[in-house]
Amino acid sequence: MSTTIPLTLSFTPHNQALPALVYTQTTLDASMKRKSTAAAPNSKKRKLALADGKVLAAMRLRILELEDQLAASAQEQDQRPAKRARTTVNSETTPASDAGPSAAAGSSSGNAKEDEKKRKMQVKKILDRLKKDCKAADLKFQGAPKTVKFDEVLENAEFQSLFGGKGTLIQPTPQNKPTSTVTIMHFNQSQLVEFFGNGLSTLKGNSWTRGGGPRFAKSVKLGQCELIVNSLDVNYSKNGMKCTLKFEVEDKDGMGGCYGPSGLSRGIWAMY
């Protein structure tokens, strides 16, 4: 729909008529644009008019200024933590050779102490198992040595750390199955003391009389007794990582072995 707008031109002096005409036309154009926008709400947004690229150039310069400001701010915030990180990395990545012989010696000494600590823990574990089995209800010390046997699972490195250079090696030796993967060792009393220290001095069990005899008496529990370990046999399979420990243990005073309470009251001991 077209609209015809009458314009009245008056021939007035030049300095007065021309501004009035321009003002009237500009106001009319603005009014028409507002009406057109209101009438078409779904029309596309008006694009920004760029006069000779000046607006685009100004925006580009402003964006570059903002990027420079952000980069400078981020650098100031990250400066001190970055220095600490580099110091940490340098200290962690310093090779052992640069640390000097004193640091290498300290590391070796620390490893030796750690290995010795693990060995003592393993020895204590074996000793605790021996003490527990010696006090078992079905183990009766009646004047003769008893065998206490149990197994441990050990890797080859653990076995060598625990038993290497200890006791008497029976197999493998240059004369006896040198290529065998089964290690057999024997410990006598003095070697056991060296291996376990004073731990064996507190070993205890239960002393019993022997059943049967002339009166067919039942065995009777006499009480707790001190024990001694005569020997230890070690059998270790490298492939199966199975270590069998066989202790020979007996009553230290030999108070067991009589036939029932009647023999005990008469002081008659039937030892075997």
Q: What is the DSSP string of 10-41?
A: ----HHHHHHHHHHHHHHHHHHHHHHHHHH-T
What is the structure's pLDDT at 241? 96
What is the structure's pLDDT at 14? 47
Average pLDDT, the chain: 76
Band the pLDDT of 242: cuts 50, 70, 90.
very high
What is the structure's pLDDT at 230? 96
- β-sheet bridge partners, residue 78: none
Alpha-carbon span 14 to 22, nearest angstrom: 13
What is the structure's pLDDT at 260? 56
- At residue 189, what are phi and psi to the nearest 5 degrees? -65, -45
Q: What is the dihedral of CA 114, 116, 117, 119, to 10 degrees?
A: 130
What is the structure's pLDDT at 20? 44
Buried b (16+ CB within 10 A) or exposed e, 10-30: eeeeeeeeeeeeeeeeeeeee
Q: Who has greater pLDDT, 196 or 48? A: 196
What is the structure's pLDDT at 74? 76
Residue 97 has pLDDT above 90, yes or no: no
Highest mean pLDDT among 41-45, 72-76, 252-256: 72-76
The stretch 104-132 carries a mean pLDDT of: 85
The stretch 115-128 carries a mean pLDDT of: 93
Q: How much of the chain exceeds pLDDT 70, in percent?
A: 60
Band the pLDDT of 73: cuts 50, 70, 90.
confident
Band the pLDDT of 164: cuts 50, 70, 90.
very high
Are 249 and 227 a contacting pair, CB within 8 Å? yes
Band the pLDDT of 269: cuts 50, 70, 90.
very low
Band the pLDDT of 251: cuts 50, 70, 90.
very high
Residue 150 has pLDDT above 60, yes or no: yes
Residue with tokens 């028409």: 32
List pLDDT tens digits, range 171-216: 999 999 999 999 999 999 999 999 999 889 889 999 998 876 666 6
